[in-house]
Amino acid sequence: MAVDNKVEQPETFEAGIRKWQEMEDATIAACDNIISATDNLLLTTVAGIIKADSQKHKMVLDVISQALNGLITLTPEELGQMSSLLDKHIELEQSSVSMASSQLKLSKNFVVNHLLSYLLEDEKKHVLLLKQLNDYKKHLYPYA
């Protein structure tokens, strides 16, 4: 990874990314162990959620490595072309947040509330990720 002046302590950073990827592999294996050890739907569902998140984390860590190597770019034209689609997606995710909040208020079941709370936080995270793309606009158009 050619991180040169893009991070402080490049060697430490690079080693940290590799270690993190190894930790995600260990988490995936632990989830597989749980999934294969039980038929309990709640346990396998939670382990499956965590496994899928760890797989996504590995993908993000790979993108981080690629970004530091200059392999990831986003042009103002690309961002402009995607702007309306991203705005529509934010609206959709915000609707999901509202739906999850409404359903959570109606439920009195502990298991259902636990799962709805997870979904609510996950949907909020999606909104945040999409809104953070506005930071790219500010970076690409510093005087906008």
89: left (phi over 0), alpha (psi -120 to 50) or beta: alpha
Higher pLDDT, 111 or 11: 111
Per-residue pLDDT tens for 71-120? 888 888 888 888 889 999 999 999 999 999 999 999 999 999 999 999 99
pLDDT over 60 (residue 4): no
Per-residue pLDDT tens for 36-57? 999 999 999 999 999 999 999 9
Query: Integer distance in angstroms from the first to the last C-alpha of the chain?
Result: 33
Tokens (6 digits) for 92: 């959709």
DSSP annotation of 7 = S
pLDDT over 90 (residue 144): no
